[in-house]
Amino acid sequence: MQEHNDLAQVHRDETAQIPLQPMNFTDILDGMFSLYRSHFRLFLKIVAVYFVLAFGIALIFGYFTTLAAPSAIVLMSGFTLIATAVISILVPAGLMYASAHVYLSREITPETALQRAWQRFWTYLGSAIVWAFVVVGLAVTIIGIPFSIYFSVRWGLYSLPVLFEGTTARNALRRSTELVKGNWWRVFGIMLAISLISFMIYFILEASSGFLLSWIGVAEAEEPTELLDTFRQLFVPTLSEIGWFSYVVRRLVSLSISAFTMPIGAIGSTLLYFDLRIRKEAFDIEMQVTD
């Protein structure tokens, strides 16, 4: 498989942080946090784009909800959905592209990573739509749930061929299938572990901050009557329930936590992608020859 030009032309540093060799479950998880810790500033600058844009969107949406005009709320809901989808694709894509260069010990700037993500945005979006259509469509029925899980893993690495190999949306799904073939259960376990770790860190930080802010009087709302409302107010209180000041503080804290945990999944997926390429395509030998 032909590599993207810029990935093939840039030389590796003399010493790599993580050796180019097959990684087991522990190696991937350890490498995930090691790369995040050693390149924290790089990832922080990338997720800062998500933080700023998402915070701006939240403020605009909050303002229009106070107008109590149904047409304005519907219009802003559509805008919020589209804008959130764009940054939710663009920023993680930039994180994965940066993670690849970091893993290969290559120089990369936040601007370059985000620029690459934007260049491949529509192809990335095409793969994401096909993946979501199949996975969500199959999950509608109980019988289809096992097939939904199967394809979610089989096509789960589509983003990396789009960004690193410059493939089309269709070929990206095919590439993911090639890499996962024969390793489905292993990939499923690693993906599940990465997702659970990222979610648990987010949940603990979000719940702790929610309780703390409620305890000191920030984001304090009317006493909910149902358990579901209690959890909803803890994580996503509305502007009408807590007021502008508390709403702004809660959004700042919540988005900070989201931005902090976002690189975990991106780095983990990148390491899994390269591990499969090394095992199935001798990518480590290919890189040695290239260097």
Angle between helices 239-281 and 184-215 (to 10 degrees): 160
Q: How far apart are CA 137 and CA 145, in angstroms?
A: 9
Asked whether residue 86 is domain-assigned, the answer is yes
Domain count, the chain: 1
Asked whether residue 129 is domain-assigned, the answer is no
**pLDDT tens digits for range 103-140:** 998 999 999 999 999 999 999 999 999 999 999 999 99
Domain membership of residue 63 as a residue range: 12-119+184-290
**Region for 182 from its dihedrals, namely left if φ exceeds 0, alpha if ψ lies in -120 to 50, beta otherwise:** left
Give me the tens of pLDDT residue by residue for the chain, a chain 291 residues long. Answer: 444 444 444 444 433 467 788 899 999 999 999 999 999 999 999 999 999 999 998 888 877 777 666 777 778 888 888 999 999 999 999 999 999 999 998 999 999 999 999 999 999 999 999 999 999 999 998 999 999 999 999 999 999 999 999 999 999 999 999 999 999 999 999 999 999 999 999 999 988 887 887 777 655 555 555 555 555 555 566 666 666 777 788 889 989 999 999 999 999 999 999 999 999 887 767 666 666
Widest distance between CA atoms in the chain: 66
Asked whether residue 137 is domain-assigned, the answer is no
Q: How far apart are the first and last CA of the chain?
A: 17
Q: Quote the distance between the C-alpha of residue 159 and its chain's center.
A: 10
Asked whether residue 124 is domain-assigned, the answer is no
DSSP letter string, 84-152: HHHHHHHHHHHHHHHHHHHHTT----HHHHHHHHHHTHHHHHHHHHHHHHHHHHHHTSTTTHHHHHHHH
Q: What is the pTM of this model?
A: 0.84
**pLDDT tens digits for range 166-183:** 999 999 999 999 999 999
- DSSP state for residue 226 in the 8-state scheme: S
Q: Quote the distance between the C-alpha of residue 214 and its chain's center.
A: 29
- The tokens for 161 are 């061929």
- DSSP state for residue 231 in the 8-state scheme: H
